[in-house]
């Protein structure tokens, strides 16, 4: 592909209502389409993409639900632009995982292909189907207390211990890179 000047966004994605804060920063082309941005967020956060999702830009909703605008063909730059612009990304309507996505910088760069790169992050994403922020807090309390009556159940359900402060940047970067290779 020929080198060209493209606008890129530095995004900060943070999972709302969990402690400690789960966040990621990434570079994406301004013209990234929403279905690919969804996949990048899924890979970077550690979700498995097994539930419905939506993007909220003010009152406009885009997602894989018939009640929303469809995502294919919609570029991020069509619905959000400029440093400081923030929007919501919701995942798993049953558990209600709400993410805040902020454009923290915008620049133009000479690139040979569309840049998508996870730069940094912190803390583990909650396990799928744990019950939203309240269920996650309960899960963490139980998994941390080996004397709790439900500890063995949650330990087995999770496939072992869980450390909410653990985040493997290299593994997450590899998952994101696999989307664009």
22 within some domain: yes
DSSP letters spanning 28-81: EETT-BHHHHHHHHHHHHT----S-EEEEETTEEEESSTTSEE-TT-BHHHH--
Distance CA 15, CA 94 (A): 16
Name 105's bridge partners. 10
Beta-carbon contacts of residue 121 (< 8 Å; ≥ 6 apart) = 22, 23, 24, 25, 44, 167, 169, 172
Q: What is the CATH number of the domain that holds 40?
A: 3.10.290.30
- Answer yes or no: is 174 within a domain: yes
Establish if 175 belongs to a structural domain.
yes
Which residues are within 8 A (CB) of 18 and not within 5 positions of it... i.e. 6 or more apart?
A: 126, 133, 136, 137
When divided into structural domains, the chain yields a total of 1
- Six-digit token pair at 24? 């990621």
Q: What was the pLDDT predicted at 114?
A: 53
What stretches of the chain show up as alpha helix (H) in DSSP? 34-45, 76-79, 132-144, 151-158, 169-180
Does residue 72 sit within a domain? yes
Domain that holds residue 111: 4-125+166-180
| Three-point CA angle 99, 102, 106, nearest 5° | 150
| pLDDT profile of the chain (181 residues), mean per 10 | 80 98 96 96 97 96 90 95 94 97 92 80 97 98 97 97 97 94 73
| Structural domain contains residue 32 | yes
């Amino acid at each position: 592909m020929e080198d060209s000047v493209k606008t890129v966004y530095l995004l900060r994605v943070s999972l709302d209502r969990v402690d400690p804060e789960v966040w990621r920063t990434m570079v994406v082309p301004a013209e990234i389409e929403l279905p690919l941005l969804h996949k990048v967020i899924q890979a970077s956060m550690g979700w498995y993409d097994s539930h419905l999702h939506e993007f909220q830009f003010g009152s406009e909703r885009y997602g894989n639900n018939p009640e929303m605008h469809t995502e294919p063909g919609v570029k991020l730059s069509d619905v959000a632009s400029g440093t400081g612009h923030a929007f919501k990304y919701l995942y798993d309507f049953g558990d209600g995982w709400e993410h805040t996505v902020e454009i923290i910088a915008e620049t133009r760069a000479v690139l040979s292909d569309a840049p998508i790169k996870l730069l940094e992050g912190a803390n583990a994403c909650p396990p799928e189907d744990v019950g939203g922020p309240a269920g996650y807090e309960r899960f963490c309390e139980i998994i941390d207390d080996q004397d709790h009556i439900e500890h063995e159940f949650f330990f087995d359900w999770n496939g072992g211990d869980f450390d909410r402060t653990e985040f493997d940047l290299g593994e997450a970067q590899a998952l994101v890179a696999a989307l664009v290779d």
